[in-house]
Amino acid sequence: AGRLQQNHPQHRLEQQTQRVDQLTIQLQHAVRNRLHRSQQRHQSLAHRLQRVSPVHQVASAQQQSQSLAQRLTKAMDSQLQYQQQRFARVTGILNSVSPLATLSRGYSISFVGDKVVMDPQDVQSGDILKTKLANGEITSKVV
């Protein structure tokens, strides 16, 4: 009777149905696993691609370029200000020792010809003196 039941079409149909159900479950698991692995691989590749993307490298280079340009501008402004201050100091020093500054303080410079008169013995009676002042020149004759 047991053998007859095993060969009965209804019993065989139930066994085949169970087998189909088991295979369906296994197939679903396999498809899910395959899909999950594919998604993980896709995410990994997308992440790697994003890291080496030239878009990020270009953006980074642009940012670095802007930063360097700002630093250069600040350095140039600082250097220009330093040189302007230095120029003002040197100009002040030169003005303090220049003959024109001496004249502006009320002094004069006398010449006989092209020579500066440094001593009264540098002139003789009858010499023509040209005396430069801050605001002009005087011509005189030594007596």
Alpha-carbon gap, residue 130 to 138, rounded angstroms:
6
Other beta carbons within 10 Å of 111: 14
Are the C-beta atoms of 108 and 139 separated by less than 8 Å? no
Report the alpha-carbon angle 128-131-133, nearest 5. Answer: 165
140 has a pLDDT exceeding 80: yes
Question: What's the pTM?
Answer: 0.44
pLDDT, tens only, 24-58:
999 999 999 999 999 999 999 999 888 888 887 88
Alpha-carbon gap, residue 112 to 117, rounded angstroms:
7
